Every structure is written in structure tokens, then in C-alpha cells.
Structure 1
Amino acid sequence: MPLLTIITITYNAERYLPRTLKSAEKALSKLADKTVVEYLIIDGGSKDNTLTIASQFDFIAKVISEPDRGLYDAMNKGLNLATGKYLWFLNAGDQVQDENILSQLISAFESNADVYYSDALLVREDGSEVGLRSKFTPHDLPKNLTWKDFALGMKVCHQSFIAKKEIAPQYDYTNLSADIDWEISCLKNSKKTQYLDFVLCRYLMGGLSIQNHRRSLLDRFNVLKKHFGLIPSLWNHGIIFWRGFWFARKNGKYW
């Protein structure tokens, strides 16, 4: 059984997929035993050259291409197909931070934590760096993370959050903030959560929740209400908006 399954979701991603796969290829080249990592691509039935690009990388264990009900439905397919002990979702356009990350990560797995997490480096489409997520957004990154830290929203970038498959639930594919719900649920199930002092990924800004911002905010409220209750979530959303307003006023638009 592989130690780690990396899952990349694609749909007409020919523009972004090469940077993701090339970063993984470099990191895999540093591993003495490459079989400890399984790589899956779950595609939504692309009509461009996405599948042709994927076929050029021989480390990919499986490619599934078929219509789906959206991003989180595709992520559920990847989760169900994964045979690795740990799951890492790295979507088209995102990158393994550097060539040493997989080696460092495999070594970190010796502690047998249920969840590993780190900061993420935010990048623009042209590859230019914006900065660490914990510095560029109002979300600081605690060293002793618990699910209660999510009371004010997404505390950890989804691409820098790795969980054991055995504790990972299915995503609610109808909710655009299903990644927050998933991380909270993983942390509730986790008996040991470990902070990594190295950055796992380069995160391409401008994902699904940004493209559908209004609905994403409502879905986020429903997730937080589910875990924290109605009144605390109403209060916390007031804090979220006030904090975001002052952060943006001081630092400029951050998302």
C-alpha cells in the first residue's frame, strides 16, 4: 500500500496541468522508492488536451475521465479510488512547493499523525509569488491546530492539508465550501494533528469559491452553523466581515 495518494482534479485544464505534474515529477525524482506515492487524475470529461498531457507522465497510476457533478463529486471519486494511507489533494495549477517536499513528507509520516498541515505559498497565474497565506490573508496559522480554530473560516489551505484516508469523510458535493467542512470533520476525527515547518504547496489563486463568491459565503455559513451552532456562527460572521474589511483596508485586496 502506498503511503501517500496525490489526487489532482481536472477539467479542460491544459493551461494549468503541466506545472502541477512537472512539480510532482521533480519531487518524485528525489525518492529512492517511488512506489510510496500513488498519483491519480480525476477528470470531468475534458474536451481539450488535458488527457494528452497526463499521458506524457508515466508516474500517474490512474486517470479517470467522465462527467461529474462538480469539483467535490470528483474529489469523492479520487478519495474512493485512493489506496494510499494519506490523501493529498493538489489541483491543476497548484504545485508541490519544491523538489524536496515529498522526501520531507515521507519522513514526517514516521510520526503516524492523522493529519499533517502547513502554510501555502500563494502564486498568480504567471507564477509570480504573492506570499504565504498566513501573511497575505487574515488567517494566521496556529501550531496546534484543532477543529475549533475554524470558527472564523478556512484556517488551512486545502492543498496544504493532508489526512489519513481512514478518518476522511466524503465531501458534500452540493456545497461550495465543502473543503472547510471536510477539514473540520477530519480534525474532529484526528487523534494526532501535526504542524509541518515547511511549506507544502504553491497555491494558484482564484479557485471555484472565488468564482462563485456569493454562494460560497452562504455555503460557508451553513458549514459553520453545522459545526458551531446558529448564534455563534452569526456572531463569528460579523467578526469575519469586520476583520476582512480592516485587513483589506490596511493591506489591499487579498483574494
Structure 2
Amino acid sequence: MRILITNDDGINAPGLVALESIAHALTDDVWVVAPETDQSGLAHSLTLHDPLRVRDIDGRRFAVRGTPTDCVIMAVKELMPEPPDLVLSGVNAGANMADDVTYSGTVAAAIEGTLLGIPSIALSQAYSWADGGEIPFGTAEALAPDLIRKVVAGGIPKATLVNINFPDRAPDRIAGVEVTRQGTSTHGLKAEARLDSRRKPYYWLAYARADNALVPGTDNHAIAQGRVSITPLRLDMTDDSGLARLSALF
């Protein structure tokens, strides 16, 4: 099995090191094509107005000056001799669940793999600033290989990707694995106003903690309960009930 791994945190991210370890537990045929710099929050964006620069690190490891989506396209269409059998994206520093999947470059790379007809899985590791911001990538490293084997053996339908989130716990404290649906959340983003040296205003978008009602059966509820969350996500975002309602109007 040939595996392509990528991420949105960049070619030097610790989570990518963890993902390489996970991929090598599954096969020796591992290719790395990841962004040159941190591309978090860029979602499913493409670089259309600038050239893509590629740095060949060792023949099977490339850094692309572009987005996670660019990386998957470049890997499949240009850098790899044959398309991969599986795309793994991550391991992201922080959970990607509920409404945050719409912002996530990690999930977006798996979306692009899915669009190209390749089974794709996004992996993210939750962590807490209350613990000093240490990210327990060892949890994902320990648990992901067996989970990926089961998911791949069971088959990933076309136009579907799999989103796996690991809770902020050591591997021996995991409360189980739950197949979930995508939850909802209040992202809590806010604009922080600041002044530059010439007293002109500028802004940083920043997260603020938001209280969310956690619904059993959803990804964010499973993570809060200390369970690994596995969520199938469809590319078809059609609202079937809305389709019927609008059809009746027109």
C-alpha cells in the first residue's frame, strides 16, 4: 500500500512526525508532501495567483509553498510516480470537529484526496492549554494504526472521507472508540484590536472559549468523554429537506 501524508501545520510540525510513524506502521511506501509553512485555518483553498514552489527534501519528502489542497494535487498529479492508495492528513495540533471542520486545512487535504478518488482520512489530536499546551501526540501514534487498518478494511465509500479525533488523554486512559456524527459548536472567534507604532489600528483573529451544549453521539461529545471519535463526512452538502421545500416553491 502506498500512502501519501500531508498536513496543514507545515513540513516541520511535530504532528507530521507522528503521522510518519503511524504511516510506517502500515507500510514502507510512504510519501510526504506538506506545506512549507503553517497553513492552519485555510480550509479548502487553492493557490491560483502565485506559482507553487516545491522543495525536494529526499525524493519521497517534499515541501510545497502552498496550501494543504495544493500539496495533495501536486503529490498526485506531479510528484508521485503513481497515485497513492490512501491519503492521511495530520496529525493536527488540536481537534478538528463540529463546525471547525469547515475551517480546517487538515480536513481539507482529506477532502481533496476524496475528490481525486483516493480513500482519505484526517487525524487530529486534542489538547488543553490548561496543561501547559503540551500535545499528547503519543496517543494518536499508539492508537491510529489499528483504527486506520479497520477503517480501510471496512471500505471508505466514494465521496466520503473519515475524520478521526483523539482526546487529550494518555493511550491507557482512553475510554473507548465511538463512531459519531458531526456536532455543532460556537467557534468563539473574536477580533482583537491593537495599535501599531504609528497609532493605526490592526486586528488579530483569536479564539475565545465558548460554552457548547454537547449532544451524545457527536464528535465533540465523544472527545469530552475521553473517547476517540471517528466521523464519516460526505462531500455532498445538499440539504434534502430543503431541496424538497424549495422544489415545492418552484
Q: TM-score, normalised by structure 1?
A: 0.35
Pair member with larger Rg: 2
The higher-RCO structure (CA 8 Å, 6+ apart) is: 1
Which is strand-richer, 1 or 2?
Answer: 2
